[in-house]
Amino acid sequence: MSINVTGTIERKNFGFGTWALVTEAGETYELKDPPKELRQERAKVKVEGSVRDDIMTMAMIGPVLEVKSFEVLS
């Protein structure tokens, strides 16, 4: 399922650490292999991607979002 979401990037301290996108509505998406340019704590971004319901992670903090494209807003 492809989605577009806007939110803030956060680094979560689970295991070796994981990157998440927290939306304005408070939903948390775990980012799957985010590009280096997207790994900016507290950056406001708009992301287009696919929710991957076929994989599990160690952090299990929310649906896994595989990033197709993104735009840093601030």
CATH code, domain with 36: 2.40.50.140
| C-alpha torsion sign, points 31, 47, 8, 61 | negative
pLDDT digits (tens, 9 = 90+) for 31-40: 999 999 999 9
Report the amino acid identity of residue 25. A
Domain count, the chain: 1
Helix, strand, or coil (residue 15):
coil
Q: Among the listed ranges 40-44, 56-60, 62-66, which one has the minimum average pLDDT value? A: 56-60
Domain interval for residue 48: 2-72
**Distance in angstroms (rounded) separating the CA atoms of residues 1 and 23:** 17
The predicted model scores a pTM of: 0.91
Count of beta carbons in the 10 Å neighbourhood of residue 1: 8
What is the average per-residue pLDDT within 12-24? 90
